[in-house]
Structure formats: structure tokens, C-alpha cells
């Protein structure tokens, strides 16, 4: 909202929001029309009482969706976004500065788990990838498989990919291929991660939480066999695999006799890294880590790293880690403190780097943005020249009611090819299944300058 006050916070980090378990969610961003319950078109409208720096605006561009949990852009500029519960992935095309949604889903995952409103299972993540040599393109989907058998308990996540083709103005998805099967990628009621991106090296990176298997460690339980401290399984990890899911020979834990899971791991010791993104300047991998009821983290995730969960949380030398610090013995050089942390968890979700002052002003070039589910907040994070330390964190965006509906928060966000920032919401009110929306944040002054 023009003229709104921007609150600037210099480290130590902000500690003002209470915690509640976040859930996997998210999806679309786009920008103009989206089919509603009765195939009506959604009209763009301003977000009421949004707090933004002067010159920026926030607009609801998609409405009437249900628990949006993942979003991505394809090589042709199309936007794809998925509903957590239904397993449906929708798409929209941008034309004349407007987003027009297709009338039918691009993909419907018939075997996607659909659970109660507080569960983190379901459609968890989306990303696209195009082979520059062959020109072929795929849509990758990370999701929880539907319950099989008498137990009726979904116990496996998997990653699949769909070949994408274009017929005129229409996208088509072909037959899916399994990239990471459910027999090696575990799932739980919660902590399913769902971050999925391609790195600068062209490899596929994804996050999986420890599936709720590890509580906060104590001195009495320090010697327990913790899932997140075991790099031989895919719980509490960031994995790195080829475009077709093969473990890579140059991964850090490859050794004779190791299984596929161990060979796939890039870093471990994580509770639930919700989203991941690569720094366009230095190429480092960043992630948002959900704490229990304290110590959400912003991490730079090193190759071969052990980030400490559940033995330490937050920064190693913080007073609350004093008793556990002697029991955490990572390999030399493998541990790194978070570069930012919240003493009381806001439930950090989306993470995105500004792509290069495409729409935002030059002062925002390559700045880091981090979203929180609670309070529907986005922070602007300024890094130092080395891109390894946080200089400051300031509140960039917040969204009060009525646009922040009861039980609603930001699930994910990403910059589009137009350089504008898109975010999606998910609502856990348990009743209305069409509450969720996509919001576009843009710098209006850019458009004004181009018209001069």
C-alpha cells in the first residue's frame, strides 16, 4: 500500500510471532483470471490493508482455489500451481499482461493422499526442467501416495515427472515416470518437506523432513538413534539426484556398499526444510527450516553438511544448546550455524531470490525474500558481500484480515518471469474449500517509468 511504513530490523533477529505447526501447501501465482466454483472468472482486486514499501502494490489475481501448496513456472512462461488435497495441478498462460487459466487441470494425481485439515501429506512441491540439448521439458511433482491396504495410512512420498508439450496455446502432460519411488522416500503425518528445485549444475535437489520421528533431544536421550542423524535414510535430508532420479557418484556420502538412499544425500541433520532456493550470485543452496515451537532457521546448506537436528537447534552457542552441545559431534567442517533464526517460530515457508531487478527497483537486485505462514509475513533479507551473513531483515509485506482469512497463511512464493513476486495461501478452516488465492506483488513505479 502506497506510503505504508516499512519496519527495518537489524540483527539480532526478529522474535515476535508465535508458532503453530505449518503444513505442506501452496501453489499458484499468476496474474489474472482463474476459474472459480462455477467456472466464473476471478477479477483482480487489491489486497486490503496490505503493508508494503511505497511504490509496491499487492493484487489478488487468482481466487477460489483450495489449499494451494506448490507453484512453479515453465520454460514458456506458463504458471503451474497445485492443490494439496486434490492432487490437481492447474496452469495459466500470460498474455497482454494478464494470466488466463486453462479450464481443466494439467495433471490430476489419482493416487495423491488426501488427509484431514492439519496433515502435511498431499501434493508438496512442483518444479519444471527443460533439457537444452533435446528441447524436451518435464514437470516434476513431489507428493504423498494414497493409503494402500488395511492400515489406510499413507507412508510414502514419491517424485514423478510428466513430459510437457505445447499444441498451439495449449499445454499437454504425457504419461508420468517415477523419479524417486515411494519405497525409498519415506513419509509421515508431518514433516514431509517438499522443496524441489534444479540446481546450477542441472541436478535435482529436494527436501524431506524426518517425518515427525524425532523430538527435541535431551541429555537423557542424546545417544538415541535419531532419524535425522542417520545419513543412510532419506529422513531429515536434502537429496541430490540426476534428472531421472539416479544417485550421483560425486555426492558426499558415496562409499562402497552404500545404498541408493545414502548415495543420494547432499546434507542431513534437518527437521523439516520446507523450501529451498539457489543464490543467483554465489550459487549456494539456501533453505527455510521449521523448528518445533522455537528456532525456525534460515540456512545455507553445505555439501555434506550435518545441520544438527535434533541435538542442536538455532545457533550452536545459544544458551539453550549448552547441555546438548557436548553430545553433538559432527564431522569436521560439516556443521554451519543458521545465518538467521527466530526464537519463537513464525513457521517459515517460501524462499525466493529477486532475479535481477526485472520489475523490482535496482536496490532490490538479488535480495533474498523469506515468507512465514503465521501472520502472512514476507521479510526482505539483505546479505553481506560474501552472501554468507545477514546484514538486516526487514518486514517487506504483511496481510491482515479480511484477505488473511481465519487459518490462512502464505504457503509458498516465487518470482515469475516478469520479475514480480507471487505468493499463494492455504487455509485450514476445515469448511470452505475455495478460500485460497494467489497474490501478485509488483513495483508499479517500474510500469510508470516504461510508459514515459
The whole-angstrom separation of Cα 155 and Cα 186 is: 6
* 196 CB-near residues (< 8 Å, 6+ apart): 125, 126, 127, 140, 142, 159, 204, 205, 206, 207, 276
Q: Are 80 and 139 in contact (CB under 8 A)?
A: yes
As given in the structure block, the three cell numbers for residue 182 are 515411494
Reading the block at residue 93, the C-alpha cell is 498462460
Residue 117 or residue 350, greater confidence: 350
pLDDT at 37: 38
What is residue 7's DSSP assignment? P
| Mean pLDDT, residues 218-241 | 90
Beta carbons of 406 and 50 less than 8 angstroms apart = no
pLDDT at 281 over 70: yes
Q: Are strands 68-73 and 79-83 parallel, antiparallel or unpaired?
A: antiparallel
Task: State residue 184's pLDDT score.
Answer: 79
Q: What is the pLDDT of residue 2?
A: 37
Q: What is the dihedral of CA 41, 47, 48, 51, to 10 degrees?
A: 180
Identify the bridge partners of residue 440 per DSSP, sorted by sequence position: 59, 422
The C-alpha atoms of residue 348 and residue 277 are separated, in whole angstroms, by 14
> Does residue 101 surpass a pLDDT of 90?
no
pLDDT higher at 370 or 187: 370
What pLDDT is attached to residue 17?
34
The burial of 152, by beta-carbon neighbours within 10 Å (0-12 exposed, 13-18 middle, 19 or more buried), is given as exposed
Asked if residue 43 lies in contact with residue 64, where contact means CB atoms within 8 angstroms, the answer is: no
Domains with residue ranges and CATH for the chain: 8-27+74-384 (2.120.10.30)
Q: What is the dihedral of CA 348, 352, 357, 358, to 10 degrees?
A: -120
Q: Using a pLDDT cut of 90, give the percent of the chain over it.
A: 60
pLDDT digits 0-9 by tens, 287-329: 999 998 889 999 999 999 999 999 999 999 999 999 999 999 9
- Whether the pLDDT of residue 112 is over 60: the answer is yes
DSSP string, 255-310: -TT--HHHHHEEEE--S-EEEEEE-TTT--EEEEE--SSS-EEEEE--TTEE--TT
Q: Which three cell numbers stand for residue 24?
A: 505442506
Q: Enter the pTM of the model.
A: 0.88
Higher-confidence residue of 155 and 240: namely 240
> Given this model, what pLDDT does residue 10 score?
37
The CA-based angle 73-74-79, given to 5 degrees, is 45
Most confidently modeled range among 85-94, 225-234, 275-284, 340-349: 275-284
- Please tell me which residue, 35 or 348, carries the higher pLDDT value: 348
227: alpha, beta or left, given left = phi > 0 and alpha = psi -120 to 50? alpha
* pLDDT tens per residue across span 11-22: 333 333 333 333
Q: Which three cell numbers stand for residue 375?
A: 501472520
pLDDT in tens, 392-436: 999 999 987 545 555 678 999 999 999 999 998 887 665 556 778
The answer to whether the beta carbons of residues 184 and 260 sit under 8 Å apart is yes
What pLDDT score was predicted for residue 22?
36
User: Taking the CA atoms of the chain, what radius of gyration do you get in angstroms?
Assistant: 21
Cell 511433482 belongs to 141
Out of 27-41, 91-105, 376-390, 436-450, which region has the weakest mean confidence (pLDDT)?
A: 27-41
Q: Does residue 30 carry a pLDDT above 70? A: no
pLDDT at 329: 92
Would you state the pLDDT for residue 419? Answer: 95
The distance of Cα 377 from the centroid of its chain, to the nearest Å, equals: 15
The more confident residue out of 224 and 365 is 365
Question: Would the pLDDT of 224 be above 70?
Answer: yes
- The burial class, CB within 10 Å (0-12 / 13-18 / 19+), for 268 is buried
Check if the beta carbon of residue 340 is closer than 8 Å to that of residue 12: no
DSSP secondary structure code for residue 114 in this structure = -
Contacts with 213 (C-beta within 8 Å, 6 or more apart), sequence order: 188, 191, 227, 228, 235
- Quote the pLDDT of residue 246: 97
Q: What is the DSSP string of 159-196?
A: EEEEEEEEETTEEEE---EEEE-TTTSB--SS-----E
Amino acid at each position: 500500500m502506497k506510503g505504508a511504513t516499512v519496519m527495518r530490523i537489524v540483527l539480532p533477529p526478529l522474535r515476535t510471532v508465535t508458532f503453530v505447526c505449518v503444513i505442506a501447501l501452496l501453489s499458484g501465482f499468476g496474474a489474472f483470471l482463474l476459474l472459480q466454483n462455477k467456472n466464473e472468472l476471478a477479477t483482480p482486486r487489491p489486497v486490503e490493508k496490505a503493508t508494503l514499501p511505497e511504490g509496491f502494490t499487492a493484487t489478488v489475481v487468482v481466487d477460489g482455489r483450495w489449499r494451494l501448496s506448490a507453484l512453479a513456472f515453465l520454460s514458456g512462461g506458463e504458471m503451474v500451481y497445485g492443490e494439496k488435497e486434490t492432487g490437481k495441478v492447474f496452469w495459466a498462460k500470460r498474455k497482454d499482461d494478464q494470466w488466463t487459466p486453462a479450464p481443466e487441470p494439467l495433471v490430476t494425481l489419482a493416487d495423491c493422499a488426501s488427509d484431514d485439515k492439519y496433515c502435511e501429506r498431499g501434493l508438496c512441491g512442483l518444479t519444471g526442467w527443460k533439457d537444452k540439448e533435446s528441447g524436451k521439458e518435464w514437470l516434476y511433482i513431489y507428493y504423498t501416495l494414497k493409503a494402500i491396504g488395511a492400515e489406510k495410512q499413507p507412508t510414502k512420498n514419491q517424485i514423478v515427472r510428466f513430459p510437457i508439450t505445447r499444441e498451439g496455446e495449449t499445454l499437454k502432460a504425457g504419461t508420468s515416470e517415477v523419479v524417486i519411488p515411494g519405497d525409498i522416500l519415506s513419509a509421515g503425518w508431518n514433516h514431509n518437506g517438499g522443496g524441489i528445485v534444479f540446481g546450477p549444475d542441472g541436478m535435482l535437489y529436494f527436501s524431506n523432513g524426518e517425518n515427525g520421528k524425532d523430538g527435541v533431544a535431551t541429555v537423557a536421550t542424546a545417544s538415541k538413534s535419531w532419524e535425522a542423524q542417520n545419513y543412510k535414510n532419506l529422513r531429515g535430508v536434502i537429496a541430490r539426484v540426476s534428472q531421472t532420479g539416479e544417485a550421483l557418484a560425486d555426492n558426499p556420502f558415496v562409499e562402497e556398499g552404500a545404498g541408493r538412499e545414502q548415495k543420494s544425500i547432499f546434507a542431513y541433520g534437518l527437521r523439516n526444510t520446507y523450501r529451498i532456493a539457489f543464490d543467483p550470485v554465489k550459487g549456494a543452496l539456501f533453505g527455510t527450516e521449521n523448528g518445533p515451537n522455537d528456532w525456525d532457521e534460515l540456512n545455507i546448506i553445505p555439501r555434506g553438511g550435518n545441520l544438527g537436528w535434533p541435538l542442536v537447534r538455532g545457533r550452536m552457542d545459544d544458551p539453550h544448546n549448552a547441555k546438548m552441545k557436548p553430545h553433538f559431534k559432527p564431522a569436521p567442517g560439516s556443521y554451519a550455524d543458521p545465518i538467521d533464526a527466530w526464537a519463537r517460530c513464525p513457521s517459515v515457508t517460501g524462499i525466493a531470490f529477486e532475479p535481477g531487478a526485472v520489475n523490482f527497483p535496482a536496490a532490490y537486485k538479488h535480495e533474498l525474500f523469506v515468507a512465514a505462514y503465521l501472520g502472512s509475513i514476507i521479510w526482505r533479507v539483505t546479505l553481506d558481500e560474501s552472501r554468507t551473513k545477514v546484514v538486516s531483515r526487514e518486514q517487506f509485506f504483511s496481510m491482515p484480515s479480511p484477505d488473511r482469512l481465519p487459518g490462512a497463511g502464505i504457503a509458498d512464493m516465487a518470482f515469475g518471469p516478469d520479475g514480480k513476486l507471487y505468493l499463494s495461501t492455504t487455509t485450514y478452516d476445515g469448511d470452505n474449500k475455495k478460500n485460497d488465492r494467489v497474490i501478485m506483488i509488483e513495483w508499479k513505479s517500474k510500469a510508470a517509468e516504461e510508459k514515459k
